[in-house]
Structure 1
Amino acid sequence: MHRSDPIRISRRFTGPDGMANGGYVAGLVAEAVEGAAKIRLHAPTPLETELHLEVEDGVVRLMDGETLLVEGEALGKPLDLDPVPHPPDADEIDVASGNFPDAASHMAPNCFVCGVARDPDDALCIFAGDSPARDAAVAAWTPHEDLAGPDGHVRARYIWAALDCPSYFGLGKTDRFALLAGFAARIERPVAPGEKLTVTGWPLDQDGRKLHAGSIIHDEDGHVVAAARALWIDAGAVDYPFNV
């Protein structure tokens, strides 16, 4: 078994207050898997805490001491997202942005991905609002330069993060608190900072408290950049203002 050097997730990458963003953490683990991966989130990942990655027999685990937080492995099968939605146009995104929750009704206003209280220079600020044309949530996203890794491309962890929250908003259940429990994603090609992208999230199916959703990133030419399938667990109705 290989054990990594200590990992400490900055408060910059918060999701709901008090825990790391699930998509970011899933992407962090997926980078150690390499390629398309499936991730299981067993417990909220704490911020500013010494964590470790353990790799054994193709399985990557994020550990807080002896506590298993997240584990991932190669996907090994298709994402099963057919039919894949078409990319939104500028008019659809413009109307959808007006449907996005404001600070008073947002489940996680400080979220690194979708928080309306965040500075766009320090967060992704992907505000996937309800589409006026279909059962989906859509948004625009242009990755910043500081999201690039040593190879000049946007790190996988940020692409996974960008696929996360739009899948929740695509469920159309913003009055319900839900936690990401499972996430599988495939990145089709490297992404350069400054690219103009769109993100779409949509519902797939529901089994009791288990809510399944898809999300996809398209480039300006309408080509698929990355896609994901998410499992959310419905934890109940939200009373605002919401605090974890």
Structure 2
Amino acid sequence: MNETPGDGAPTLTIPARFNGPDGSGNGGYTCGLLATRLTAEGGPAVTVTLRTPPPLDRPLTVEGDPATGLRLTDPERADAARLVAEAQTAQLPDRPAVPGGPVTPAEAKDAENRYPGLAEHPFPRCYSCGPARPEGDGLRLFAGSVRPATGPDGQGNTVACTWTPNTDLGDGSGAVTLPQTWAALDCPGGWSSDVVGRPSVLGRITARVDRAPRVGRTYVVMGHLESVDGRKTHTGSAIYDSDGELLAQAHATWIAIRR
């Protein structure tokens, strides 16, 4: 977070490296970056709604009051696309993000072989899940099915993968930063749905990080498809340590891209 000259309004910039679809910010990373203004490890859940594809590599203005909510705006726009995102503290839904709890790291590692994005991916350079990103230049979260669908439209499908955060994701103390943790909660939820046949982008996410992951340790990241409603897909996601303890969880809404 930087300060803009002149009026002193706080800003944040999404570096080009942290893209989702080419040319716009990764949804989870962007939402986590804004959420750091409202929460921290062990703090309350935050809901962030994305209103337009987040622009990269230029300062965006943070407006509002943490007590009532924040708005992320693009000072270079004068139209409806000026509003990039909105955030406020929230409560997670009562339902579990991933029903049935975690799988083992070995099961999650095996599931990576079933990741559909390895064969076809609408956003192959996505920071969180893109297979076109080289080792060390993306999270490379390749979540494959571990519990097949039990309902229509793939409802109930649960996916998993492993994640070993490297040192550049940390805050200097060994803890993974909040934006990187939100980025990890992002795409595995999306891949519980048919992302290949129905490309979607993150529209809204409510997440809470009870305990930050640590660099160099292996975690299980899971996603679960809750329902499909028109262009909207509702998912849950969670991060577990190697002993199955829950560290962070999220519920998200995805919006299918119009073709």
TM-score (norm 1): 0.88
Task: Check the 8 A contact 2:50/2:84 in 1, yes or no.
Answer: yes
2:70 to 60, 73, 83: 60
Q: Which whole-Å CA distance do the structure 1 matches of 2:113 and 2:92 have between them?
A: 34
Q: How far did 1:130 drift?
A: 2.2
Q: Which whole-Å CA distance do the structure 1 matches of 2:243 and 2:109 have between them?
A: 19
Q: How far did 1:122 drift?
A: 1.7
Runs of 4 or more above 6 Å deviation = none
1:80 maps onto 2:94 in alignment = yes
Residues 55, 100 of structure 1: CA spacing in aligned structure 2 closer, same or farther, 3 A cutoff? same
1:141 to 148, 163, 167: 163
Measured against aligned partners, the alpha-carbon deviations of 1:195-242 in whole angstroms (never above 9, x if no partner) come to 2100110111222211100001000110001000000112256xxxxx
Q: Which whole-Å CA distance do the structure 2 matches of 1:129 and 1:106 have between them?
A: 13
Q: Which sits farther off after the overlay, 21-30 or 97-106? A: 97-106
Residues 90, 220 of structure 1: CA spacing in aligned structure 2 closer, same or farther, 3 A cutoff? closer
TM-score (norm 2): 0.84
Aligned equivalent of 1:209: 231
Q: Which whole-Å CA distance do the structure 2 matches of 1:92 and 1:43 have between them?
A: 37
Q: How far did 1:103 drift?
A: 5.6
Residues 103, 200 of structure 1: CA spacing in aligned structure 2 closer, same or farther, 3 A cutoff? closer
Task: Check the 8 A contact 1:92/1:133 in 2, yes or no.
Answer: no
Residues 102, 178 of structure 1: CA spacing in aligned structure 2 closer, same or farther, 3 A cutoff? closer
Q: Which whole-Å CA distance do the structure 1 matches of 2:161 and 2:173 have between them?
A: 27
Give RMSD over aligned pairs: 2.1
| Runs of at least 5 residues in structure 2 that lack an aligned partner in the other structure | 1-6, 150-156
Task: Check the 8 A contact 2:111/2:160 in 1, yes or no.
Answer: yes
Q: Which whole-Å CA distance do the structure 1 matches of 2:121 and 2:15 have between them?
A: 22
Aligned residues: 235
Task: Check the 8 A contact 2:226/2:235 in 1, yes or no.
Answer: yes
Aligned equivalent of 1:95: 110
| Runs of at least 5 residues in structure 1 that lack an aligned partner in the other structure | 238-244
